[in-house]
């Protein structure tokens, strides 16, 4: 009896597996993948190039336990806050790792299948997913040295006996790209003698070995669990480092891209509304490759935006920001950018390579140090320490200017940055502390010994409610940002895939044009990036003469299309010919 012809899904899956595991029986492995994922081989492929988002999509980035209320699970506290205070402002919640962990605030995962009891239960995730899109972290490059897998590795038993990448300490590993200064290899005593395991990030974070198909199958099982719990957006953490070949840079290797394509194939066949985001904090041109041919990441992090925008606002010169955005290709339909200014990590500096000069980078670093920031380093292939990221809260980053230091324009600068991020092509994402204007948490840095803790403050809900309900900068930030998000979500010209065109209005004014997909709404966003008033003529914007133009931020109507506009320090306008209706509860 002849074998039944392979389905389209099976053919595509086998094609990916043949690239990743050329020496294995890929038909048998494909069957195991489908079984592990509970996926029918006859499942039809979703329609390609679909935009699974629109202008109403804004993401919140948060730890599960950033907000704490006495006698309540933090995930429940978070859900209540987001539902009561942000339902008109955001559509998606990115939950940073909420699993049992041993270090790095969650990114040393001990058990991928369990919710950390100190945060809550799976039920809390399921409930959150009923009200918002939920993005979960897939910490796919490494896991904790205290995980059951690693204990099994040392004991030589499964699961885990062959889950981790080993290397010869005498091999030439000088070409390996490192994001840290710690030694790459860690010596471990096992049941089978001394071994050296690969540790890209820290000696508590042991790199997994995807050369072993058992590791791939295990992660397919984990992803399926997350899908069953309501998670539909997946952040592939540190995925650029996934595949290792000694003698190479061990970053962005072809097998890594092929694994991402395979994961996307499986995930979108199981749940067609799912989205994959790759977290690749690397130079801009390398980052862009993770779109593939619209068959890898749906979204990629716009890692160059935070350092370039912060640099523009503290120097008053937007030339580099403008030049970078002009070089960025419009995302294909079905893909887009994730725009953010702050996250649980610091402000990455690798994405400025080739964009800022050494002198400009040094000026930015020194300015951030002046505002209380810390600097984390990495080791280059030449063995030297090089600044890798700036650790600072976004509120403190905008304390003043590079030239004059702290000044009175902190709030205006902060809001201007948020206004830029929300208007650019892509989906905007707010780190929860950027909604509150949370300051540098130096006490937490002292307690943990880690610079990244500076921007990982834990809010007691009683304290947070107090500062949000009294005249503080926290209240001012929260009210202003949430108002802007509501305006933003109503404008078709802010669709993540709407046309974007950068305008040339000098180095002090940053400006661009957006046009809705149906071409009905045009919107000109103009920002004063300096601490001095700036002027421009509306004639520079080429406004359609028959339309009425309104600044959506101030609601001022501009009837004279040839008139002169004055922007106060860090003021901005969103000039639109049609106003989308803002919904508020």
Residues marked active site are found at: 237
463's CB contacts (< 8 A; 6+ apart) are: none
Q: What distance in Å separates the CA atoms of residue 537 and residue 548, rounded to the nearest whole number?
A: 16
Quote the strand ranges of 90-184, DSSP E.
Answer: 92-95, 133-139, 142-144
As to burial, measured by CB atoms within 10 angstroms (0-12 exposed, 13-18 middle, 19+ buried), residue 189 is: exposed
Give, for 376, the enclosing helix (H) or strand (E): strand 374-379
Q: For the residues of 432-493, what is the DSSP string, one character each? A: HHHHHTPPP-HHHHHHH--GGGGG---EEHHHHHHHHSSSSHHHHHHHHHHHHHHHHHT-GG
Determine how β-strand 557-558 pairs with β-strand 59-62: unpaired
- Helix pair 305-315, 410-423: axis angle to 10 deg: 140
Known binding-site positions for substrate? 104, 142, 235-237, 344-345, 452
Report residue 306 as tokens: 């935070």
CA atoms within 13 A on the CB side of 150: 27
Report residue 544 as tokens: 């359609």
- Helix pair 26-36, 213-228: axis angle to 10 deg: 20
Known binding-site positions? 104, 142, 235-237, 344-345, 452
Q: How many CB atoms lie within 10 A of CB 394?
A: 25
Instruction: Compute CA 451 distance to the chain's CA centroid, rounded to the nearest angstrom.
Output: 19
CB distance 255 to 243 below 8 Å: yes
Provide the b/e sequence for 530-552 (b: ≥16 CB within 10 Å). bbeebebebeebebeeeeebbbb
Q: What is the CA radius of gyration of the chain?
A: 24
Which alpha helices (DSSP H) does 190-318 contain, by range? 213-228, 254-270, 284-288, 305-315
């Amino acid at each position: 009896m002849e074998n039944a012809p392979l389905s389209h899904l099976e053919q595509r899956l086998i094609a990916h597996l043949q690239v990743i595991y050329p020496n294995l029986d890929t038909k048998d492995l494909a069957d195991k993948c489908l079984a592990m994922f509970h996926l029918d081989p006859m499942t039809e492929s979703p329609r390609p190039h679909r935009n699974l988002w629109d202008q109403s999509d804004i993401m919140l980035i948060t730890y599960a336990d950033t907000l704490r209320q006495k006698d309540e699970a933090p995930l429940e506290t978070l859900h209540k806050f987001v539902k009561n205070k942000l339902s008109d402002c955001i559509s998606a919640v990115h939950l940073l790792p909420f699993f049992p962990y041993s270090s790095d605030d969650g990114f040393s995962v001990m058990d991928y299948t369990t919710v950390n009891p100190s945060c809550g239960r799976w039920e809390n995730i399921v409930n959150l997913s009923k009200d918002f899109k939920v993005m979960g972290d897939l910490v796919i490059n490494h896991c904790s040295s205290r995980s059951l897998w690693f204990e099994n590795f040392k004991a030589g038993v499964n699961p885990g006996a062959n889950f981790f990448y080993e290397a010869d300490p005498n091999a030439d590993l000088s070409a390996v790209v490192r994001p840290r200064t710690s030694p790459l290899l860690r010596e471990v005593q096992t049941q089978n003698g001394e071994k050296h395991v690969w540790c890209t990030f820290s000696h508590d974070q042991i790199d997994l070995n995807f050369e072993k198909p058992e590791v791939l199958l295990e992660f397919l099982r984990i992803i399926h669990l997350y899908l069953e719990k309501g998670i539909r957006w997946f952040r592939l953490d540190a995925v650029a480092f996934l595949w290792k070949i000694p003698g190479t840079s061990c970053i962005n290797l072809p097998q890594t891209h092929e694994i991402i394509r395979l994961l996307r194939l499986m995930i979108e066949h199981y749940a067609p509304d799912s989205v994959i985001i790759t977290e690749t904090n690397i130079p801009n041109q390398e980052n862009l490759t993770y779109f593939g041919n619209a068959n890898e990441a749906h979204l990629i992090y716009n890692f160059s935006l935070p350092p370039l925008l912060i640099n523009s606002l503290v120097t008053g010169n937007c030339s580099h920001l403008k030049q970078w955005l002009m070089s960025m290709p419009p995302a294909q339909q079905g893909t887009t950018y994730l725009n953010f200014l702050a996250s649980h990590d610091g402000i990455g500096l690798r994405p400025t390579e080739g964009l800022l000069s050494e002198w400009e980078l040094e000026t930015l670093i020194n300015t951030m140090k002046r505002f209380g920031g810390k600097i984390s380093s990495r080791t280059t292939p030449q063995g030297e320490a090089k600044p890798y990221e700036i650790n600072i809260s976004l509120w403190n980053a905008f304390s003043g200017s590079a030239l004059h230091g702290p000044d009175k324009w902190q709030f205006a600068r902060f809001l201007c940055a948020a206004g830029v991020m929300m208007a650019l092509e892509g989906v905007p994402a707010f780190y929860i502390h950027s909604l509150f204007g949370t300051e540098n948490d130096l006490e937490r840095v002292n307690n943990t010994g880690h610079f990244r803790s500076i921007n990982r403050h834990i809010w007691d809900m009683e304290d947070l409610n107090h500062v949000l309900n009294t005249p503080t900068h926290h209240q001012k930030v929260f009210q202003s940002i949430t108002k802007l998000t509501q305006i933003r979500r109503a404008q078709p010209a802010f669709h993540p895939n709407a046309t974007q065109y950068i305008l040339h209005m000098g180095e002090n004014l940053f400006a661009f044009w957006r046009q809705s997909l149906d071409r009905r709404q045009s919107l000109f966003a103009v920002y004063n990036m300096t601490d001095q008033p700036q002027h421009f003529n509306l004639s520079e914007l080429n406004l359609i003469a028959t339309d009425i133009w309104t600044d959506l931020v101030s609601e001022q109507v501009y009837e004279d299309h040839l008139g002169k506009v004055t922007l106060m320090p860090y003021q901005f306008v969103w000039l639109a010919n049609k106003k989308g209706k803002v919904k508020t509860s």
